[in-house]
């Protein structure tokens, strides 16, 4: 049930005297009163504190260990609360990394959003790094390649030097006869004599088929076999009517967490990894978003200069690798560089 009001009952934090009140949601409400009447005790120490406490307890135990949850406000009950942000009038020590996001705590919530719900991809190869089940991989192949002819393959070599005779002989013994070698369809029985000192691409062909509902069981068997041969890794290439590759770059598939090509894997992420004040800071500008004059320059007597926008993070203060983590197609850098109206339209689209 969607609440239309925030209901507070029996609030007695600090100097509040068992206050009961209803506050309409989606409205602007002003809390007024003389100094010491309990405005801050109600707004910040009761409503905000309880809203944040409830929000934090929806997070994983791992994430909560980095947050100060505080104690429960002194209230009998509260209903209709949502995750809350606050801009207080308190004077704070200025920080070179301060932003609207950090001062309002929106940055913390964005970090939680991206850590828990964003798609994580490899910064180098733009491939998914999260482990997929066999069912997920098969469903992906059915939707991505419906009506097209594909080759389900196992990567034997990816720009590596060697002749790979032992590996190819092993596959021949298992009944496989063809592979894409350096982009060309080739027989592997007899074993081809490859140049030992040159780099080669070799993709063993497990099966070639047109993706349609009548071949769903075959597609599943082929992918499952490829993943078994490749120890959790496989690849799909699109081919033409003559069996030739349409592109040497295939779609890598993986049952493992990490990039199927370079094995890059993200650490266990939490909100700190998306903050320029913490683990998500850009190393070039130390999370500031600008390049500033350092002490060495001053000692050398060099002329001071205006801070320049950091070319590495483009002023966001965030690690550029975070661009490869996207929520509904948008990185956290794009969130930070968007207007309030653009973000509103994006969230409610």
Q: Both 169 and 250 in a single domain?
A: yes
Q: Of the ranges 253-267, 287-301, 312-326, which one carries the lowest mean pLDDT score?
A: 287-301
Find out whether the peptide bond into 190 is cis, omega within 30 degrees of 0: yes
pTM of the model: 0.57
Q: Both 238 and 271 in a single domain?
A: no
CATH code of residue 67: 3.40.50.300
CA torsion through residues 318, 323, 326, 328, sign: positive
How are the residues of the chain apportioned to helix, strand and coil, as percentages rounded to the nearest 5? Answer: 30, 20, 50
End position of a domain, from candidates 254, 282, 310:
254
Element (H, E) at 227: helix 216-229
**Residue 293: which pLDDT band, with cuts at 50, 70 and 90?**
low
Q: Both 241 and 332 in a single domain?
A: no
- Alpha-carbon gap, residue 168 to 202, rounded angstroms: 10
Rounded to the nearest 10°, the torsion over CA 112, 117, 123, 127 is 170
Predicted local distance difference test score (pLDDT) of residue 258: 86
Find out whether the peptide bond into 52 is cis, omega within 30 degrees of 0: no
CATH code of residue 310: 1.20.1580.10
Q: Does a structural domain hold residue 281?
A: yes
**Residue 259: which pLDDT band, with cuts at 50, 70 and 90?**
confident
Average pLDDT over residues 29-42: 92
- Alpha-carbon gap, residue 51 to 83, rounded angstroms: 6
Q: Does a structural domain hold residue 92?
A: no
Q: Does a structural domain hold residue 328?
A: yes
User: In this structure, how many other beta carbons lie within 10 angstroms of the beta carbon of residue 210?
Assistant: 14
- Alpha-carbon gap, residue 21 to 181, rounded angstroms: 74
Q: Both 249 and 138 in a single domain?
A: yes
Predicted local distance difference test score (pLDDT) of residue 248: 79
Q: Tell me how many degrees the CA angle 36-11-16 measures, rounded to the nearest 5.
A: 20
Q: Both 78 and 12 in a single domain?
A: yes
**Which 3 state secondary structure label does DSSP give 11?**
strand
Q: Both 200 and 293 in a single domain?
A: no
Residue 321 domain boundaries = 111-123+265-347
Q: Both 241 and 293 in a single domain?
A: no
Q: Both 177 and 246 in a single domain?
A: yes
Is residue 44 over pLDDT 60? yes
Q: Could you read off the pLDDT of 201-229 as tens digits, one per residue?
A: 999 999 999 999 999 999 999 999 999 99
Q: Does a structural domain hold residue 95?
A: no
Q: In this structure, which long-range contacts are made by residues 285-292, counting pairs with CB atoms below 8 Å and at least 24 apart in sequence?
A: 285/310, 285/312, 285/313, 285/317, 287/97, 287/317, 287/318, 288/96, 288/97, 288/317, 289/97, 289/313, 289/315, 289/316, 289/317, 290/315, 292/96
Predicted local distance difference test score (pLDDT) of residue 103: 75
The mean pLDDT value of the chain amounts to 88
Is residue 107 over pLDDT 80? yes
Number of independent structural domains in the chain: 3
Judge contact between 151 and 247, C-beta under 8 A: no
Q: Does a structural domain hold residue 260?
A: no
**Residue 117: which pLDDT band, with cuts at 50, 70 and 90?**
very high
Q: Does a structural domain hold residue 96?
A: no
Question: CA distances (Å), 208 to each of 34, 70, 226, 246, in order?
Answer: 79, 60, 12, 13
CATH code of residue 169: 3.30.190.20
End position of a domain, from candidates 192, 227, 254:
254
| Between 172 and 259, residue with greater pLDDT | 172
Q: Both 166 and 231 in a single domain?
A: yes
Q: 312, 349, 315: which is closest to 329 by C-alpha?
A: 349
Q: Does a structural domain hold residue 105?
A: no
Judge contact between 318 and 333, C-beta under 8 A: yes
Using only C-alpha atoms, the chain has a radius of gyration, in whole angstroms, of 28
Q: Both 154 and 233 in a single domain?
A: yes
Q: Both 140 and 222 in a single domain?
A: yes
Q: Does a structural domain hold residue 223?
A: yes
End position of a domain, from candidates 254, 284, 316:
254
Q: Both 69 and 169 in a single domain?
A: no
Question: CA distances (Å), 328 to each of 29, 109, 267, 332, in order?
Answer: 33, 16, 21, 11
């Amino acid at each position: 049930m969607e609440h239309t009001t925030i209901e507070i009952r029996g609030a007695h934090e600090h100097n509040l005297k068992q206050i009961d009140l209803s506050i309409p949601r989606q409205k602007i409400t002003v809390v007024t009163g003389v100094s010491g009447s309990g405005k801050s005790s109600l707004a910040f120490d009761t409503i905000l504190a309880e809203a944040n406490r409830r929000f934090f307890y929806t997070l994983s135990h791992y994430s909560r260990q980095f947050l100060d949850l505080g104690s429960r406000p002194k209230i009998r009950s509260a209903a209709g609360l949502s995750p809350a942000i606050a801009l207080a009038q308190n004077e704070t020590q200025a920080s070179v990394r301060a932003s609207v996001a950090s001062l309002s705590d929106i940055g913390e919530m964005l970090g939680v959003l991206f850590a828990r719900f964003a798609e994580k991809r490899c910064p180098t190869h733009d491939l998914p790094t999260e482990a997929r089940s066999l069912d997920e991989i098969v469903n992906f192949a059915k939707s991505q390649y419906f009506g097209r002819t594909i080759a389900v393959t196992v990567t034997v070599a990816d720009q590596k030097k060697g002749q790979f005779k032992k590996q190819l002989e092993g596959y021949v013994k298992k009944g496989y006869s063809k592979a894409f070698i350096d982009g060309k369809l080739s027989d592997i029985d007899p074993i081809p004599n490859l140049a030992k000192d040159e780099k080669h691409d070799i993709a063993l062909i497990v099966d070639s088929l047109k993706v349609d509902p009548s071949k769903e069981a075959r597609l599943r068997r082929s992918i499952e076999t490829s993943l078994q041969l490749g120890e959790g890794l496989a690849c799909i290439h699109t081919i033409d009517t003559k069996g030739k590759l349409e592109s040497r770059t295939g779609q890598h598939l993986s049952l493992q967490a990490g990039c199927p090509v370079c094995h890059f894997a993200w650490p266990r992420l939490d909100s700190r990894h998306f903050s320029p004040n913490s683990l998500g800071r850009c190393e070039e500008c130390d999370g500031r978003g600008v390049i500033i004059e350092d002490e060495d320059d001053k000692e050398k007597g060099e002329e001071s200069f205006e801070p320049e926008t950091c070319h590495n993070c483009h002023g966001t203060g965030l690690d550029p690798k975070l661009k490869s983590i996207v929520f509904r197609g948008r990185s956290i850098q794009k969130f930070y560089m968007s207007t309030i109206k653009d973000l509103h339209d994006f969230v409610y689209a």
